[in-house]
Homo-oligomer: A and B are copies of this chain.
């Protein structure tokens, strides 16, 4: 339960609940409902009541600071029918925070030490407001600050206490595939997972990638998930990027490291997205020295020495150009492997022969060269993200020297 009127406004992407879901699941809890409510005390009270009727553990964030908008304390006291009292330990903590930050200990600051009777104080080492742990026969309500850094810092010490609560830890497995769409992945694994009725399967698609999660509870859960995992991996074959929740870029960088090869990038329509994904992995610079963003023809000539005749004859979005870009990137950067991508991300720039979404990729490495072209769908942003993902995946497949239906070795 996230409390805060601003979280209900346009543009705000409330993400605390995603973080909490992940960490609560890791501790064996099943999240059954999520809510976002305004700062209004009445709203918080009703939402707390609704949440308490659905679950034994309710985690609320926000609304426990010193300002007048912060009403979660009052709503909680009303929801659990206890009086708010100054809690001496909480008061000490708020006072010491004020001292450290040279703030006066005002009446507003003091409000942060008001706790429902019987509630425990959760120390906040980052911010001023202590968290609240309340338990009665109906269940537990945990209130944490709405500031993300405070929330995460306070959650870690809580993990041990949460682990002592009754819950059944599910067995899970996470796969990641790339280069094939969600519906194709679904169709391919459907018959396999049907043989495991106690294993819940969820798939999550992003442009170019599909994450598959298996989960099961109960005595034989671990063995069942293991068998299901084995079968699913067999069905997916080379389309499977990782069985261990590694990202595509991590897998790719490991493959390069294993071969002792470095990778260069040459990007037109993705304009840096491929490089930026590689650089998300700490330590990637040892195998990824760099690349080039060549967003128009002249940059392709200057930075990658793509011949003017190639561009004039075949166009910037073509197989000869993308191969020349890859060769140019390997040479300019000084790398054994290079990947290039060029395409029409739209909304303008499409032609009847090369409509918006047309993308060409190429990979060169000491063992050969690969080229691929596809027409991607979606808006500009989606086409670019999809093209970047498929660029990484083409390198992965080229390094594995396996060819999917769509990849031609030239």
Contacts and interface: CB of A to CB of B under 8 A. Distances in A.
B298 A289 contact: yes
A28 interface: no
Copies in the complex: 2
A160 interface: no
Interface residues of A, number: 75
B280 A381 contact: yes
Interface stretch (A31-39, A58-66, A73-81, A135-143): A31-39
B22 A10 contact: yes
Contacts of A279: 269-272, 293, 295, 345, 384
A22 B32 contact: no
A231 interface: no
Contacts of A333: 299, 302-303
B295 A290 contact: yes
Interface stretch (A43-51, A113-121, A392-400, A402-410): A43-51
A265 interface: yes
Contact of A213 (B8, B9, B15): B9
B6 A11 contact: no
A46 B35 contact: no
Contact of A291 (B18, B33, B270, B272): B272
Scoring A31, A272, A279, A280 by chain B CB atoms within 10 A of each residue's CB, the highest score goes to A272
A46 B38 contact: no
Interface in A262-313: 265, 267, 269-276, 278-280, 282-286, 288-296, 298-299, 302-303
B11 A211 contact: yes
Given A9-B213, A272-B275, A293-B293, 19 more contacts: A6-B202, A6-B204, A8-B32, A32-B43, A33-B35, A33-B36, A33-B38, A50-B50, A267-B275, A272-B291, A275-B295, A282-B346, A290-B292, A290-B299, A291-B293, A292-B303, A299-B334, A302-B332, A303-B333
